[in-house]
Amino acid sequence: MADPDVFKIFKYDFAGGDPATALVEPNTVVLMDELAEKLFGTADPINQTISIGTRSGKTDYKVTGVFRKPIFNSHIQARFFMSMSSDGMGAYFDKMQQWAGNNLMYSYVVLQSGTDPATVEAKFPAFLEKYAKEQLAAMGFQKTHFLQPVTDIHLKSDFTNDLSPNSSMTLMYVLGSISVFILLIACINFMNLATARSAKRAKEVGVRKVLGARKAMLIRQFLSESMMITLIALTIALALIEFLLPAFNQLTHKNLALNWLSNADALGWMVLFALITGLLAGSYPAWYLSSLNPTAVLKGSLRRQGAMNFLRKGLVVFQFTISIALIIGTLMIHRQMDFIQTKNLGFGKDQRLIIPLRTAESQHTIAAFKNEILKNSECVSAGPTTSYPGIFTPNDLSFYKEGEDMNSAVNMKFSYVDYGFIETLGCEVLQGRSFAESYPSDLEKGIVINEAAARSMGWKPEEAAGKKIYSDWNKTKVAFEVVGVVRDFNHQSLYQEIRPYFFLLSHDVRYSYMMVHVHTQNFQPLLVFLEDTWKKLNPGEPFEYSFFDQDIQKQYEADIRLSSLINDFAAMAILIACLGLFGLASYTTEQRTKEIGIRKVLGASSASIVNMLSTEFVKLVIVANLIAWPLAYFVLNRWLEAFAYKVSWDAFVFLIACGTALLIAFLTVSGQALKAALTNPSEVLKYE
């Protein structure tokens, strides 16, 4: 539901109707073109009537506008907008004239050009003081209003219950940094291999210098070669992007499309980036090769430089530092995801179905629907509720003890429930009891609280049952009796700590969901039974359901996708690092061929030669581990800090990463080392 001015703030492309007046009248609706076509086909939808059902009942709405599907990204993923002055929910919104208990509205403000948002924010405390002071005090609430730039919502908002799932700027920084590091690894490979091949190009440089080539000319030549290679790589990369894009969209749940020909700016930036990459990657090899002494080169007296060898080893250490850090990241993210999957949340999430109760008709048949469900031998229990763990819980209330007042009240979230829901959810009653029909007084203000709620009131959980707590509502003191205490459960995601929570029994509210606990592995016949029962009681109403464990899992979809991306990045980094190590190992063994031949003549075994050549590189990987461990620990700790409940660090993670890197490095190098060790020494030394 939206205010008529919503289209003044957000510019939608209207295919029909006037955005300035579309939502002014009550019971009007604006549809997205896709939805309009689905409802009316090719007919003109303007001034047509549609019926929209809610838990308050069905209301007819006149279509006053149609907007085209937005081509821009937005946190408002609406397929239609209803007038806020409409009947039903609109009337409910109209009644909400107080600020203290209103947590349902999103308000958007357009500031005058040049206005400092801080100046506007500075006026909010006085506004609340004037319009909500008494209400807030009476309800025990504290509120702070502030402005948030719309452009910050997607990446810089860490608030719960936004209109659509958000991403994280930190995540963007992490993924961007990993991408840069992988590119650096590739550039280092190029630099390493280019300088390693310097002996093969040394005579070319010497001859060109003797023929009059200046250093600047040689630098231009080598840089041109480097940039040409990156342009060829860019062409291949663009082809790979087109090929892999469907898989990437599936992984990230996006619908990205690329059209390079129509986006010349992006293509131009990519070409420029490729040229800069080639320039940076080729700069050191170009400088080194152009600096060779032609006399020494042509005499064959070019010697291996210690500084150059040290640099190459340093670059290998850098490559494996990044690769090892990514391996540790992969392991820790997997451990956290496994922890999320297996942690005892304080309730049962398996073998449970959630059935939404969206319409007024379904509200009238809740009792009958529950009774029919319980007749099925596959159903253990069932119960309706306004909310369940893993979704937004809009209800809260503040309580205080006898002898206190709202100034010392503790705010608690709660759900309205009916008989059977606590048992269906699987909460463990530690003290007292759950709601029971044999206790009619439960309906009069009986509540079941969690351990956190008991502790917040200054009680031990085992002594809370039978206690009375109080809340002020509309200046009236209302008493509630604690009839039971359940074990703490994660009613929010594992990002948040367990807060005080309670269940309130009611027959007067509009329930939102029916939870059903079943004991079957063959869900299809049971779903058919539930759908048939639903349609019999609610003819014409669509039957919907979800699995509770999958609803819980949706809270961590972004982290699961991050885990998959880190896996791919780690594999890519390791592959590129191994290619570089393979090339460097080939160069090293080639440079030491004569030494190896002499050692074999003197009786050295193939195993000792492989060990000699491999040890040098294994030492580099060990150094990389010592650098990668604190780096990975620091970065991953920042990520884990977002979770209130998380895994602890284990030395096993570091040992696995170290062992994996050492094994990969050894296998990469040992092939070249073994090839050199098995070479007949007479073939190497016959010309000496």
With beta carbons less than 8 A apart as the criterion, state whether 587 and 197 touch: yes
Residue 597 lies inside a defined structural domain of this protein: yes
Q: How confident is the model at residue 301 (pLDDT cuts 50, 70, 90)?
A: low
If one compares 38 and 202, the residue with the highest pLDDT of the two is 38
Residues 52 and 23 in one domain: yes
Q: What is the Cα 578 distance to its own chain's centre?
A: 30
Structure tokens at 238: 């663009």
pLDDT at 681: 65
Question: Which range is most confident: 20-34, 66-80, 389-403, 465-479?
Answer: 20-34
Instruction: Report percent pLDDT > 90 for the chain.
Output: 34
Residues 180 and 289 in one domain: yes
Distance CA 460, CA 452 (A): 10
Q: How confident is the model at residue 72 (pLDDT cuts 50, 70, 90)?
A: low
pLDDT at 472: 84
Give the count of domains, the chain.
3
Q: How confident is the model at residue 160 (pLDDT cuts 50, 70, 90)?
A: low
Residues 627 and 519 in one domain: no
Lowest mean pLDDT among 107-121, 293-307, 411-425: 293-307
Q: How confident is the model at residue 213 (pLDDT cuts 50, 70, 90)?
A: confident
Residues 266 and 298 in one domain: yes
Q: At what angle do helices 557-591 and 651-677 cross, to 10 degrees?
A: 30
Question: Which range is most confident: 221-225, 403-407, 420-424?
Answer: 420-424
Residues 453 and 386 in one domain: yes
Give SS3 for 540. coil
pLDDT higher than 90, residue 169: no
Residues 202 and 277 in one domain: yes
If one compares 130 and 254, the residue with the highest pLDDT of the two is 130
Q: Report which of 106, 56, 87, 23 is spatially closest to residue 31, judged by C-alpha positions.
A: 23
Residues 535 and 416 in one domain: yes
- Give residue 57's domain range: 1-95
Residue 281 lies inside a defined structural domain of this protein: yes
Question: Mean pLDDT across the chain, nearest whole number?
Answer: 84
pLDDT higher than 90, residue 381: yes
- Residue 145: is it exposed, middle or buried by C-beta count within 10 angstroms (0-12/13-18/19+)? middle
- pLDDT tens for 577-593 read 787 777 777 777 766 77
Residues in the chain: 688
If one compares 551 and 672, the residue with the highest pLDDT of the two is 551
Distance CA 674, CA 201 (A): 27
pLDDT at 537: 95
If one compares 457 and 192, the residue with the highest pLDDT of the two is 457
pLDDT at 260: 67
Average pLDDT over residues 25-33: 93
> Of 511, 537, 555, which residue is a domain's last?
555
Question: Which range is most confident: 141-145, 566-570, 634-638?
Answer: 634-638
Lowest mean pLDDT among 215-229, 472-486, 505-519: 215-229
Average pLDDT over residues 230-250: 85
The model's pTM is 0.74
pLDDT higher than 90, residue 298: no
User: How open is the CA angle 571-572-573, to the nearest 5 degrees?
Assistant: 95
Average pLDDT over residues 127-132: 82
User: How open is the CA angle 169-174-175, to the nearest 5 degrees?
Assistant: 100
pLDDT at 592: 72
pLDDT at 446: 93
pLDDT at 467: 93
Residues 548 and 591 in one domain: no
Helix ranges (H only) for 547-601 are 548-553, 557-591, 593-601
- pLDDT tens for 473-487 read 777 889 999 999 999
Average pLDDT over residues 491-519: 92
Distance CA 560, CA 250 (A): 13
pLDDT at 415: 94
Distance CA 185, CA 316 (A): 9
Residue 164 lies inside a defined structural domain of this protein: no
Average pLDDT over residues 312-322: 83
Q: What is the Cα 426 distance to its own chain's centre?
A: 28
> Of 95, 116, 142, which residue is a domain's last?
95
Residues 542 and 574 in one domain: no
Q: From its phi and psi, is residue 479 left (phi > 0), alpha (psi between -120 and 50) or beta?
A: beta
Q: How confident is the model at residue 340 (pLDDT cuts 50, 70, 90)?
A: confident
Average pLDDT over residues 120-133: 86
Distance CA 575, CA 569 (A): 10
Q: Report which of 355, 356, 491, 503 is spatially closest to residue 420, judged by C-alpha positions.
A: 503
Structure tokens at 506: 């009611």
Residues 356 and 505 in one domain: yes
CA distance from start to end of the chain: 89
Distance CA 290, CA 209 (A): 9
pLDDT at 203: 67
Residue 297 lies inside a defined structural domain of this protein: yes
pLDDT higher than 80, residue 79: yes
Q: Report which of 206, 160, 166 is spatially closest to residue 496, judged by C-alpha positions.
A: 160
- If one counts every other C-beta atom within 10 angstroms of the C-beta of residue 402, the result is 9
Residue for token digits 């293509």? 267
Give SS3 for 603. coil
Average pLDDT over residues 390-412: 85
- pLDDT tens for 514-568 read 999 999 888 999 999 999 999 999 998 889 999 999 999 888 887 888 788 888 8
Residue 74 lies inside a defined structural domain of this protein: yes
- If one counts every other C-beta atom within 10 angstroms of the C-beta of residue 15, the result is 16
Query: Using alpha carbons only, how large is the chain's radius of gyration in Å?
Result: 34
Residue 121 lies inside a defined structural domain of this protein: no
Instruction: Report percent pLDDT > 70 for the chain.
Output: 88
Q: Report which of 511, 566, 473 is spatially closest to residue 383, judged by C-alpha positions.
A: 511
With beta carbons less than 8 A apart as the criterion, state whether 559 and 336 touch: yes
- Residue 5: is it exposed, middle or buried by C-beta count within 10 angstroms (0-12/13-18/19+)? middle
Residues 68 and 177 in one domain: no
Lowest mean pLDDT among 160-164, 322-326, 663-667: 160-164
pLDDT higher than 70, residue 680: no
Q: How confident is the model at residue 403 (pLDDT cuts 50, 70, 90)?
A: confident
Structure tokens at 201: 């190009």
Please spell the DSSP secondary structure of 296-353, one letter per residue: HHHTT-----HHHHHHHHHHHHHHHHHHHHHHHHHHHHHHHHHHHHHS--SS--TTEE
pLDDT at 59: 84
Q: How confident is the model at residue 103 (pLDDT cuts 50, 70, 90)?
A: low
Residue for token digits 């090293």? 588
pLDDT higher than 70, residue 303: no
Average pLDDT over residues 400-410: 87
> Of 79, 95, 111, which residue is a domain's last?
95
Q: How confident is the model at residue 199 (pLDDT cuts 50, 70, 90)?
A: low
Q: How confident is the model at residue 685 (pLDDT cuts 50, 70, 90)?
A: low
Dihedral (Cα; 152, 156, 162, 167), 10-degree rounding:
110
Residue 69 lies inside a defined structural domain of this protein: yes
- Measured CA to CA in angstroms, residue 638 lies from 338, 341, 634, 653 at distances of 19, 21, 7, 17
Please spell the DSSP secondary structure of 407-418, one letter per residue: GG-EEEEEEEE-
Average pLDDT over residues 617-644: 90
**Do the bridges between strand 80-82 and strand 476-486 make them parallel or antiparallel, or are there none, so unpaired?**
unpaired
Residue 128 lies inside a defined structural domain of this protein: no
pLDDT at 165: 66
If one compares 59 and 452, the residue with the highest pLDDT of the two is 452
pLDDT higher than 60, residue 686: no
Q: How confident is the model at residue 369 (pLDDT cuts 50, 70, 90)?
A: very high
pLDDT at 181: 81
Residues 539 and 400 in one domain: yes
Q: How confident is the model at residue 687 (pLDDT cuts 50, 70, 90)?
A: very low
